[in-house]
Amino acid sequence: MNVDETAPQKGTVTQRAIERIKAMIAEGRLEPGQRLPTERDLAAQLGISRSSMREAIRALTVLGVLEARHGSGIYVTQLEAGDLLETFGVVADLSRGPRLVELLEVRRILESTATAMAAARITPDQLAEVEKHLTAMNATDDPEEILAHDLAFHREIVAAAGNETMAAILEGLSSRTFRARVWRGYQEEGAFTRTRREHAAIHRALVARDPEAARAAAAAHVGEVEEWLRTQLGG
């Protein structure tokens, strides 16, 4: 009989190694920030080759679970929302057609709620930061700069809502490449002035600390783009 459970033999050895390491973290045997054994030792422990172990480590690295530092070692990340949800941007980058509308719908739901929450609890400092990006956005004609401040504007508001997980998801849904692809066409139709008005409305609701007004303004803001994109596709 087996001294060690070498066992089920399901799936590839690499896949099993991924599950084993994930399980170690889930069970608390590996803490955030902790350093793992070397690739060579890990491979020996699980009875697989270094090559297969490297594939497992690489997979967990792109998932934001592990972090490999050349010459130093392999570490568990802090496992914070930002670490794990970075891959969410991949979804936005590779989605096309109808799925882009669905993503915008998700963003509308989450961002409108986040903006409402922010209206109720935003601090003066955070509000000042929001205003900074609002004015900067209106003071330039460079589309690149406008986009950057646009992103920062919403990012500050979402951060003020106080839910890091939601913020990380919305960050992925507003990733640079995603916005650039959709915004390009949208803004070409002279939507700048409308965007400015909508941003102003969101800002007013924040100043007034009116959650419902903030929710409506944010929903309308995203909804505008959503509607435009829908007509672009459906016909």
Partner DNA sequence: CGACTGTATTGGTCGGACCACCTCGCTGGT
Partner DNA sequence: ACCAGCGAGGTGGTCCGACCAATACAGTCG
Name the site residues for DNA (rule: CB under 7 A): 12-14, 36, 38-40, 47-52, 54-55, 57, 68-74
Q: Which two tokens stand for residue 221?
A: 């803001």
Contact between 17 and a copy of itself by CB under 8 A: the answer reads no
Contact between 36 and a copy of itself by CB under 8 A: the answer reads no
Q: CA–CA separation, 115 vs 108, rounded Å?
A: 10
Among DNA, a copy of itself, none, the one that 113 touches (CB under a kind-dependent 5 to 8 A) is: a copy of itself
Contact in structure between 84 and 65 (CB atoms under 8 Å): yes
Distances, alpha carbon 167 to alpha carbons 39, 76, 82, 103, 209, in Å:
34, 22, 8, 15, 20
Among a copy of itself, DNA, none, the one that 13 touches (CB under a kind-dependent 5 to 8 A) is: DNA
Helices (H), the chain: 13-26, 39-46, 50-62, 81-84, 88-94, 98-121, 124-138, 143-161, 164-173, 176-188, 192-207, 211-234
Contact between 94 and a copy of itself by CB under 8 A: the answer reads yes
Shorter beta-carbon distance to a copy of itself: residue 65 or 74 = 65
Contact between 103 and a copy of itself by CB under 8 A: the answer reads yes
Among DNA, a copy of itself, none, the one that 227 touches (CB under a kind-dependent 5 to 8 A) is: none
Contact between 51 and a copy of itself by CB under 8 A: the answer reads yes
Contact in structure between 78 and 32 (CB atoms under 8 Å): yes
Residues that bind a copy of itself (CB under 8 A): 14, 18, 22, 25-26, 51, 54-56, 58-59, 61-63, 65, 79-81, 84-85, 87-88, 90-91, 93-95, 99, 102-103, 105-106, 109-110, 113, 163-166, 169, 177
